[in-house]
Structure 1
Amino acid sequence: MWWSEPPIPTRRALLLGAAALLAGCGFQPVYGPDGPLGRLAGTVAVEAPATDAGFVLRNRLVDRLGIAETPRYLLETDIVIRGAAVAVTTEQETTRFSLPGEAEYRLLEVATGRVLAEGRVTSFSSYSATGTAVSTFAGREDAQERLAIALADQILIRLTAQVT
C-alpha cells in the first residue's frame, strides 16, 4: 500500500519515555533517601493512645517510618472512633454499623519543641452485625483495625506534603 501505519511503540520505548518525563519533572520516591519520608526514616518516635486502635495506628506508622533509636522528631497522635447504626430492619435490629474515625497528629522537633507539621485526618470503616455475637465482635475489631491503618496511611500522606 502507498500508506503505512505509524509504528506501535514498544514497551521499552514507553518505559524510557516515562522515565525521561519523570526525571524532568523532579520526581523522587517518597520513601527514597532524599524523599520527604526517607529523610524521616529512623528518626521519629511515635506516641499513640493506649487503646487497641492506638496500638494499630502506632504500629503502622512505625512500620513505615522505622524505629527511632535516638529520635530527632516526635509524632504525637490521637485517635477517636465512634459507632453508628446504618442499617436497621423493620424489627429494629441493627444489621450494619459504620465506624467513623479521626486522628490528630503533630510532628515536633525533639530538641526545640517546634511544631513541624500538624493536622487531622478522617476516614470510616463498617462491619456487619448479622450472625452470632462472636462474629459481630470480630467484625467490629477488624473494622477498627482497618480504620486505624487507613488513618495512619493518611497521616503519612499529609506528612509527605507538609515535610518537604
Structure 2
Amino acid sequence: MWSRRGLILSVGATLSACGFTPVYGPTGEGQALRGAIRPAGPETELTFAFVRQFEERLGRANEPRYSLGYVIALDEVGRAIDGSNNITRYTIEGIIDWTLTPRGATSTVLSGRETGFTAYSASGSTVSTLESERDARRRLAVLLADKVVTRLLAEAPTLAR
C-alpha cells in the first residue's frame, strides 16, 4: 500500500525523469521573468488592481527587460431579474489584449488575449451594490492578471533564449 509521501516521491521522480522542472523552482524558467517585465502604468482603479496583482506574481521591475502593454475591456450584463422586473445580479465580462515588447524595441515578442468574468449581487442597498460592483471589478482584474502571468510563465523558455 502506498503512503502519501511515497506517492508524492514517485510522482516527483516520474516528472523529473520527463524533464519537468517547477517554473518557480531555483532553476525554473519562471525565475528569468521575475522582476523583468514592467506593465504600463495604471490609470484607473481596474488597471491599478491589475498591475498590483501582476507585480505580486512576477515582482516589481527595477531594471526591466520587457514592457507589457495592455487594454482591458469590460461588459456588464444583467443576469437575474426579480418579480418587480429589477435586475438583482450582474456579471462583468472582461477581455484583456496584451503585448510583450523588449525594452527599446518596437516589435512585440509575444501577445495574447485573455478573458474572464465575475458576478455581483445588486439586491442590497445602493451603497452595498456599488461596493459589490467595485469588488467584482477588482476580482476580475486579479483574474486577468493571473491569466496573463500564467501565459507568460508558459512561454518563459522561449523568452529566456
TM-score (norm 2): 0.90
Is the contact made by 2:33 and 2:156 (CA closer than 8 Å) also made in structure 1?
no
Is the contact made by 1:31 and 1:37 (CA closer than 8 Å) also made in structure 2?
yes
- Cα distance, 1:90 vs. partner? 3.2
Query: Which residue of structure 2 lines up, in the alignment, with residue 79 of structure 1?
Result: 72
Does structure 1 residue 54 correspond to structure 2 residue 47?
yes
Map 1:1-80 onto structure 2 (within 5 A): 8-80=1-73
Number of residues of Structure 1 aligned to a counterpart in Structure 2: 157
Is the contact made by 1:47 and 1:75 (CA closer than 8 Å) also made in structure 2?
yes
CA RMSD of aligned residues (A): 1.5
Q: Which runs of 5+ in 2 are unaligned?
A: none
The AA in structure 1 aligned to 2:45 is D
The AA in structure 2 aligned to 1:78 is V
Is the contact made by 2:32 and 2:156 (CA closer than 8 Å) also made in structure 1?
no
Residues 66-119 of structure 1 deviation map (CA, whole Å, 9 limit, x = unaligned):
111111111112211221111112322110011011111111111333312101
Larger radius of gyration: 1
SS at match of 1:137: helix
Structure 1 CA distance, aligned partners of 2:9 and 2:56? 32
Identity of aligned residues (%): 36
- Greater helix proportion: 2
Structure 1 window deviating more from structure 2 (107-116 vs 128-137): it is 107-116
Is the contact made by 1:48 and 1:76 (CA closer than 8 Å) also made in structure 2?
no
Runs of 4+ in 1 over 4 A off after TM superposition: none
Does structure 1 residue 134 correspond to structure 2 residue 127?
yes
Structure 2 CA distance, aligned partners of 1:132 and 1:124? 23
TM-score (norm 1): 0.88
